[in-house]
Amino acid sequence: MNYQETTEYLFNSTPVFEHIGASAYKDGLDNTCALDEYFGHPHTNFRSIHIGGTNGKGSCSHTLAAILQADGYKVGLYTSPHLVDFRERIRVNGEMVPEQYVIDFVEEHKDFFEPLHPSFFELTTAMAFKYFAEQKVDFAIIEVGLGGRLDCTNIIHPLLSIITNISLDHTQFLGDTLPKIAFEKAGIIKQGTPVIIGEANDETRIVFEAKAQEMESLIIFAEDIPMVLSASMSSDGGLYYKTRLFGELQGELGGLYQIKNTNTILTALSHLHNSHIIKNIESIVKGFSNVCESTGLLGRWQKIQTNPMVICDTGHNEAGWMCLSQQIRRQKCKNLRIVFGMVDDKDIEGVMALLPKDGEYYWTQPSTKRAYHVDKVAATGKKFGLHGKCFTNVGEAYNKALDDANKEDFVFVGGSSYIVADFLNLLQCN
């Protein structure tokens, strides 16, 4: 098989959550443990940092990876989902796993894993851990896939755990209240391993404290002693920070939600610096200002062009859109044009209630079986006083938005990671 055939095999022969949703979710770690034993427990060969939470996992993971790289370490980075290329999920010092490695992994080991019927994520996690061990990485930043307690990344024994925040998402798996979801996310807290909590409220804080006490783990709430003293937008679209311990920082990532992510990251960095893992403050400065180039991060308030300004963002739930809608409203533009679609396990009405009322909408749907049909998206938008036209795919919607726009307009593409994935694939093909 060539690379394309191999990735098609992975997508078509294993249950893929991104494609089919709930039926791809496997409750338990039996397959993960079987794969781990077969490959010789590769995760024991490198130090790791484990990052969970509802929103912000990707930004925090990529930023920490960039900083560790700047400090001279060889860093593995495992994240999901990918937007353009499967190999985005598995990187070492920003470089994607080679195509040939993916081909060889499947061809050499499918006789073992096929009878297990692993999920796509179980198999991908095993591939990542094996690759990182073979590459002899110093650290691996491991992003939780879904939840935490039963996530297949949870076999690692990290030197630090981070839980960014908790909001209602994936409630069919994790529970329908914040404490229930917090319990699942808290499952990544390991015996004696420090944990950073980015954001918490009274309901979730007590859950995290109880788990940390049970595991005899130091717990640090990033909001208790904020590391970000002030933040403002910079002229290049990023964020300028004044910080408690690390002086002034220029953040490349520009979404307003990055302010809270940065507070979480800086709290983690304080711990890593005190532990003599981060050696140079200059590495923090360099890492923050070069996240995308260092790690290949895509889809976080990503500027595509100017005149008209085009931005895409992977924010996909109500908590994410509380910040996104605020930032979109701040844009100085003549007309606001929004290409928008969602998938069916998200609270579409909760998000719709947050969307700007003065926008011109280009309703669409991503190329996944989990997509809300565009007609349902438009009908829901109408309930909230939002008006626009329907398009069967992201390309048609975006091209029409761009045709309609003048140089003073602002065009936003998002609503789902899969909308952004279709959009970035469209741009790559053009």
Query: For the segment 365-408, what is each residue's pLDDT rounded down to a tens digit?
Result: 999 888 999 999 999 999 999 999 999 999 999 999 999 999 99
Q: To the nearest whole number, what is the mean pLDDT of the chain?
A: 93
At residue 139, the pLDDT reads: 98
The pLDDT of 197-214, averaged and rounded, is 96
At residue 204, the pLDDT reads: 94
Cα separation, 149 vs 174, whole angstroms: 10
Q: Which two tokens stand for residue 206?
A: 């007590």
- Listed by start position, the domains of the chain span 3-295, 302-429
286 in helix, strand or coil? Answer: helix
User: Quick one: which H or E segment has residue 411?
Assistant: strand 410-414
Look up the pTM and report it. 0.93
At residue 169, the pLDDT reads: 59
* Topology annotation, domain 302-429: Protein-Tyrosine Phosphatase; Chain A (3.90.190)
At residue 373, the pLDDT reads: 96
Residue 332 has pLDDT above 80, yes or no: yes
Cα separation, 395 vs 426, whole angstroms: 7
Tens of pLDDT along 224-235?
999 999 999 887
At residue 21, the pLDDT reads: 47
Q: Which two tokens stand for residue 403?
A: 């045709």
Cα separation, 164 vs 294, whole angstroms: 22
Cα separation, 181 vs 174, whole angstroms: 5
Residue 171 has pLDDT above 80, yes or no: no
116 in helix, strand or coil? Answer: helix
User: Which band of pLDDT confidence, cut at 50, 70 and 90, is reported for residue 24?
Assistant: very low
Concatenate the DSSP letters of all residues of 58-110 into one string: HHHHHHHHHHHHHTT--EEEE-S--SS-GGGGEEETTEEPPHHHHHHHHHHHH
Cα separation, 169 vs 309, whole angstroms: 30
User: Which band of pLDDT confidence, cut at 50, 70 and 90, is reported for residue 173?
Assistant: low
At residue 17, the pLDDT reads: 43
Q: Which two tokens stand for residue 230?
A: 């002030």
User: Which band of pLDDT confidence, cut at 50, 70 and 90, is reported for residue 23?
Assistant: very low
What CATH code is assigned to 3-295? 3.40.1190.10
* 302-429 has the same fold as 3-295: no
18 in helix, strand or coil? Answer: helix
Residues 334 and 304 sit within 8 Å (Cβ to Cβ): no
The pLDDT of 136-156, averaged and rounded, is 94
